[in-house]
Amino acid sequence: MKYAKIRKEGKWPLTISNTWSTTKLFINEEVPEIVEFKKSLIAGIESGTVDRFAETPSQMMSQSYGSSQYTPQQIFMHNSEIMPLRKIVQLPQETKCVTIVNTIKVKPAKYGWYYLTCFKCPKQCFGEAPPYKCGDQHETQTEILRYKLDVEVGDGQAKATFVFWDRECEQLIGKSALVLRSEMLADGIHDPLDYPEDIDLIAGKTLAVKVKWQPKWKTGSVIQINQADDFINEITSQFPPTDVSCIWRLYFMYLIILYFFSLELADSCKLSYLLCFFFFFCRFLKDWSRLLLRN
């Protein structure tokens, strides 16, 4: 683990935690320091200077990791309201929501597609060379780059801007911001306002999104995404019924009643009622298609 917080043993047991989104966790990687530590640990166990406290590497891991009783899908939807995008954009207060959107395009931002972040807090760092400083005057000696992309999303006629952060962008693009910027520097591109082509990989995707809607800014801050088709279908099935189905049923019932009532009339009146039936049927198609587009 790199860039972690260590709390000394005292009132509370010795603990190690992450530092927001800065901590890097290496799993089964041949990091020289880790390899050397494993060798010294094995040597200590064999010599008797270190107790054999675990039989296998998996037993050395915290058992709390697998103790959660919730599935990833339940965690995704926890403490959130499930609703379509057209309802989200009308919310008057900050709300955590789960919805389904199509990513349309990445919108240019004032400061580009990435930013420097502090290793002690999640705030942005500034400076042309290390040490970089954040608003709390924490000093960071190395470049820690993070994605921040404004993405236009849509669902039917509804559209909005969602801010995609580092984890979600890396998940969709397949590269970290540091790697992508290194490739740009190798090509002689230094301007952060110059968006690389790989950024376009975010567009054209259907995603289940957990988002915090911020009506003050008319934007949503993305918390988590899921691309699994089964999960997307499950979320869609939980959307509240639209007004289209209600209007459709009312119109349809009215047309049926009107039609059968006309059959009981004399031939001289049937033509008038059939014309009336045809008029309302056309009106039904027009209103139904309008509501369908709106929803």
Rounded Cα gap, residues 241 and 83, in angstroms: 10
How many CA atoms within 13 Å lie on the side-chain side of 164? Answer: 30
Domain membership of residue 39 as a residue range: 4-66
Q: What is the pLDDT of residue 70?
A: 72
233 and 113: one domain?
yes
Write b or e for each residue in 78-115: b if 16 or more Cβ atoms lie within 10 A of its Cβ, otherwise e: eebebbbbbbbeeeeeebbbbbbbbbbebeebeeebbb
Side chain identity at residue 267, one-letter code: D
pLDDT value of residue 134: 92
Per-residue pLDDT of the chain (295 residues; tens, 9 = 90+): 776 777 777 666 777 777 665 677 777 777 777 777 777 766 665 555 555 444 444 444 444 444 446 778 888 988 899 999 999 999 999 999 999 999 999 999 998 999 999 888 888 999 988 899 999 999 988 889 999 999 999 998 899 999 999 999 999 999 999 999 999 999 999 898 999 999 999 999 999 999 999 999 999 999 999 999 999 999 988 887 654 445 555 566 666 666 666 555 555 565 666 666 667 667 666 666 655 554 4
At residue 274's C-alpha, the angle toward residues 271 and 279, to 5°, is 125
Q: Are residues 143 and 233 in the same domain?
A: yes
Last residue of a domain, one of 40, 66, 92: 66
Measured CA to CA in angstroms, residue 90 lies from 94, 128, 212, 227 at distances of: 11, 41, 13, 25
Alpha carbon separation from 202 to 50, 134, 161 (Å, rounded): 50, 29, 13
| Statement to judge: residues 228 and 138 lie in one domain | yes
Tell me: do 80 and 226 sit in the same domain: yes
Beta strand ranges found along the chain (DSSP E):
4-7, 15-18, 81-82, 95-107, 114-116, 125-126, 132-134, 139-140, 145-155, 158-165, 206-214, 219-226
CB proximity list for 2: less than 8 A, separation 6 or greater: 23, 24, 25, 26
If asked whether residues 101 and 215 sit together in one domain, one would say yes
Cα 194 to Cα 100: distance, rounded to the nearest angstrom: 29
Helices vs strands, H then E, count in the chain? 8, 12
Rg of the chain (C-alpha set): 29
| Number of domain units in the chain | 3
Helix axes 267-294, 243-263, angle to 10 degrees: 170
Q: Which CATH number does the domain housing residue 167 bear?
A: 2.40.50.140
Per-residue confidence (pLDDT) for residue 254, from 0 to 100 = 62
Q: Which two tokens stand for residue 11?
A: 């009132």
Instruction: Give pTM, 2 decimals.
Output: 0.63
Residues 57 and 178 both lie in one domain: no
For residues 60 and 50, give the distance between their C-alpha atoms in angstroms, rounded to a whole number.
14
| Claim to verify: residue 233 and residue 278 sit in the same structural domain | no
Asked if 14 and 149 sit in the same domain, the reply is no
Q: Are residues 112 and 224 in the same domain?
A: yes
